[in-house]
């Protein structure tokens, strides 16, 4: 696997994990301010969620890399 392929796989994993992490800990306001959506979170804590996403994605990428290097799964046809 080239380093470009590794970055692309990490990027794809990161985005999938982000969408799984975004709903964690979301609480909506009991009385939303005028002009705000009723479903808008009070404290979205996006920086924390981005950090958690980065760590989880790195761990998943390491598992992917280990499986790829071990040869358990071949991605080349005819190999």
Domain range list for the chain: 17-22+44-79
* Cα 41 from Cα 46, distance rounded (Å): 11
Structure confidence at residue 22 (pLDDT): 95
User: How far does Cα 44 stand from its chain's mean position?
Assistant: 16
What pLDDT shows up at residue 31? 87
- Is the pLDDT reported for residue 61 higher than 70? yes
| Residues forming a β-bridge with 41 | 28
Tell me what percent of the residues of the chain surpass a pLDDT of 90: 61
Mean pLDDT (the chain, rounded): 90
Alpha-carbon distance 79 to 56, whole Å?
31
- Identify the CA nearest to 14 among candidates 48, 47, 61, 64: 61
Predicted confidence at residue 23, as pLDDT, reads 93
CB contact at 8 A, 19 and 12: no
């Amino acid at each position: 696997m080239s380093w470009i392929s590794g970055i692309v796989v990490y990027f794809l994993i990161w985005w999938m994990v982000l969408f799984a992490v975004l709903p964690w800990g979301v609480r909506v306001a009991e009385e939303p301010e005028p002009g705000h959506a009723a479903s808008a979170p009070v404290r979205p804590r996006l920086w924390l969620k981005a950090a958690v996403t980065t760590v989880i994605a790195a761990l998943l990428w390491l598992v992917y890399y280990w499986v790829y290097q071990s040869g358990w799964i071949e991605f080349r046809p005819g190999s």
